[in-house]
Amino acid sequence: MSAVRNVLLFHSPTSVRSWRDDLARALPEFDVVDSLDGIAPERVAAAVVWRYPPGLLQSLTRLRLIQVLGAGVDHVVADDRLPPGVPVARLVDESLSRCMSLYVAMQAIALHRREPELRRAQLEGRWTYIHPRHPSKTCVGVMGLGVLGLDCARTLLGLGFTVAGWSRTPKPDLGFPSLAGGDGLEEFQRQVDCYVLLLPITPATERIVDRTFLARAKPGATLINVGRGGLVDDDALVEALDGDRLGHAVLDVFRTEPLPAGHRFWRHPRITITPHNSSGTDPATALVQVVANVRRALAGERPENLVDLSRGY
Ligand code: OXD
């Protein structure tokens, strides 16, 4: 009688298509499936997922690992029907960080060089000379100093920007000034010309960019949100942009994704929208660690980059 093979469930609507086949090749001891139809739930030993429908994993009582195919795990934290006690790991991948840092650098340079104003001038056929400024004249404030935030901060420093960091808890010896907690936030805001949001979304960070925050921003400050849509109070953001408090916002993440047709952000002259593509996972670099983590979990060892579900990241 042949032994029943373990199943690996792959679910990721936005990943490059080769992920599933690459996993199947790298883990020949598994049946890799992208649907649970016809699969006995007790055969599923590992799930590699990104933005799956809540409840998808509920019946998988023999699951040994939930490997998230991205840095943020909010969709797993929000799933109140997870099988109990299954370790959840997120991806920490150099190429994911690099890709994010390049996006943030591109947008920070564009904002620093006032590209949105130049673009508007072009559309209106106006020659508008804006004298270039040295990047050190712009302080980019990175909020969230995890792996992605630190990589962005260091990339921006390398480009000559002045960089300040903020995190909920103090992070010593980063090589650039950083502040922490509610007390540190006001002092941080006194310095910042361009905010970069890279915080995880938790009850403590939900709507951290609210009316109070925006009222304290330097006039004309700009914002790049590559964290999560829920970090920002959308009404307060539009008010701040309309009232000239904020100069421009670059948004890659939204409360509802895809951003619904007709949403007021689409046509706002001071909002730049990208479709949550600031970064992404690439099997060329991330497959090795996903495979190693699956094998670790199956061997009863501790997977790497585990998430604390009670903390939310
Ligand atoms: C992530 C993302 O969290 O792409 O990795 O949003």
Centre of ligand 1 to C-alpha 260, Å, is 20
**Burial environment of residue 83 by CB neighbours within 10 A (0 to 12, 13 to 18, 19 or more):** middle
pLDDT at position 224: 99
140 has a pLDDT exceeding 60: yes
| 3 pLDDT tier (thresholds 50, 70, 90) | confident
Would strands 88-89 and 65-68 be described as parallel, antiparallel, or unpaired?
Answer: parallel
Q: Which helix (H) or strand (E) holds 33?
A: strand 30-33
Q: Does 70 contact ligand 1 (Cβ within 6 A)? A: yes
pLDDT at position 15: 81
pLDDT at position 246: 98
Would strands 221-225 and 44-49 be described as parallel, antiparallel, or unpaired?
Answer: unpaired
Q: List the structure tokens of 309.
A: 């579900």
The ligand 1 atom nearest the CA atom of 69: 5
Q: List the structure tokens of 191.
A: 């310095």
Q: Does 279 contact ligand 1 (Cβ within 6 A)? A: yes
For the ranges 92-96, 225-229, 232-236, the lowest mean pLDDT is seen at 92-96
Structural fold of domain 94-273: Rossmann fold (3.40.50)
pLDDT at position 282: 87
62 has a pLDDT exceeding 90: yes
Q: Does 162 contact ligand 1 (Cβ within 6 A)? A: no
| Known catalytic residue at 276 | yes
Q: Does 138 contact ligand 1 (Cβ within 6 A)? A: no
36 has a pLDDT exceeding 90: yes
163-192 tens-digit pLDDT = 999 999 999 899 999 999 999 999 999 999
145: nearest Cα among 209, 88, 196: 196
Q: Does 71 contact ligand 1 (Cβ within 6 A)? A: yes
Q: Does 72 contact ligand 1 (Cβ within 6 A)? A: yes
197-233: b or e for each residue (b if 16 or more CB lie within 10 Å)?
bbbbbbeebeebbeeebbeebbeebbbbbbbbbbbbb
Residue nearest to atom 3 of ligand 1 (CA): 72
d(CA 15, CA 18): 8
Rounded mean pLDDT of 192-214?
A: 97
Homologous superfamily (CATH) of 6-93+281-298 is NAD(P)-binding Rossmann-like Domain (3.40.50.720)
Q: Which helix (H) or strand (E) holds 89?
A: strand 88-89
Rounded mean pLDDT of 54-72?
A: 96
pLDDT at position 196: 99
| 232 pLDDT tier (thresholds 50, 70, 90) | very high
d(CA 155, CA 283): 24
1 has a pLDDT exceeding 80: no
257-298 tens-digit pLDDT = 999 999 999 999 999 999 999 999 888 999 999 999 999 999
The ligand 1 atom nearest the CA atom of 70: 5
Q: How many residues does the chain have?
A: 313
Asked if residue 258 has a cis previous peptide bond (ω within 30° of 0), the answer is yes
| 16 pLDDT tier (thresholds 50, 70, 90) | confident
Which amino acid would we find at residue 107?
Answer: Q
Please answer whether residues 96 and 286 qualify as being in contact, where contact means their C-beta atoms are separated by less than 8 angstroms: yes
Q: What is the pTM of this model?
A: 0.94
The ligand 1 atom nearest the CA atom of 96: 5
| Known catalytic residue at 120 | no
Start-end ranges of CATH 3.40.50.720 in the chain?
6-93+281-298, 94-273
99-123 tens-digit pLDDT = 999 999 999 999 999 999 999 999 9
Mean pLDDT for the chain? 96
Residue 302 DSSP symbol: P
- 47: Cβ contacts below 8 Å, ≥ 6 apart: 8, 9, 10, 11, 57, 60, 63, 65, 66, 67
d(CA 301, CA 190): 47
Rounded mean pLDDT of 133-146?
A: 98
Q: Which of 49, 104, 279 to mutate to test the pocket of ligand 1 (most atoms within 8 A of CB)?
A: 279
Please answer whether residues 48 and 57 qualify as being in contact, where contact means their C-beta atoms are separated by less than 8 angstroms: no
Helices 94-112 and 147-158: crossing angle, nearest 10°? 50
| 2 pLDDT tier (thresholds 50, 70, 90) | low
The separation between CA 197 and the C-alpha centre of its own chain, rounded to angstroms, equals: 9
Residue nearest to atom 6 of ligand 1 (CA): 72
Residue 3 DSSP symbol: P
The ligand 1 atom nearest the CA atom of 91: 5
Q: Catalytic residue among 11, 51, 228, 245, which?
A: 228
